[in-house]
Amino acid sequence: MRIGQGFDAHAFREGGRLVLGGVEIPHTHSLAAHSDGDVLLHALCDALLGAAGLGDIGQHFPDTDPTYKGIDSRKLLSHVMHLLRGRGLRVGNADLTLVAQVPKLAPYRDAMRAVIAQDLHVSADAVNVKATTTEQMGFTGRKEGIAALAVVLLFTESHA
């Protein structure tokens, strides 16, 4: 077994598409980023890469590379999963937390869970998506942006 953790944060900007966990969420603001700004999938990618001992998302997908401009973060996740498969690793489970004062995320948790489970090639009960506020404290509390945390467990194929 191998464990990994990931963290990411992005600032809000007015307008645009807010995409979290591969799910588009209606909101007045989106997240500023080189990619589509899916902070949850970025934290997840970092947790997966961390568990595999493969560095971080910035090494694999530099934000100076125009290839990744506006890219769907599910494509980044798909590439990470390809790297893991190549090393004989599969996902046991993933526990994910979104930290946001706005918008309300609870109505979208199950949709995110389904998308992520599909991308990780696991059943939905192996993926947990939580959402919390910081009680109006700090940058998420001031509605300046959204943060995300991820923890994953990987198994080597011999235990599959």
Contact range with Mg ion by CB under 5 A, out of 2-10, 44-52, 97-105, 139-147: 2-10
Residue with smallest beta-carbon separation from Mg ion = 42
Smallest gap, in angstroms, from Cβ of residue 33 to Mg ion? Answer: 6
Q: Does 38 bind Mg ion (CB under 5 A)?
A: no
- Select 10 or 113, whichever has its Cβ closest to Mg ion: 10
Contact range with Mg ion by CB under 5 A, out of 3-11, 16-24, 91-99, 139-147: 3-11
Q: Does 8 bind Mg ion (CB under 5 A)?
A: yes
Q: Which two tokens stand for residue 150?
A: 């991820």
Q: Does 42 bind Mg ion (CB under 5 A)?
A: yes
Smallest gap, in angstroms, from Cβ of residue 15 to Mg ion? Answer: 19
The CA distance from 122 to 128, in Å, is 12
Applying the rule CB under 5 A, the residues between 79 and 118 that interact with Mg ion are none
Binding site for Mg ion (CB under 5 A): 8, 42
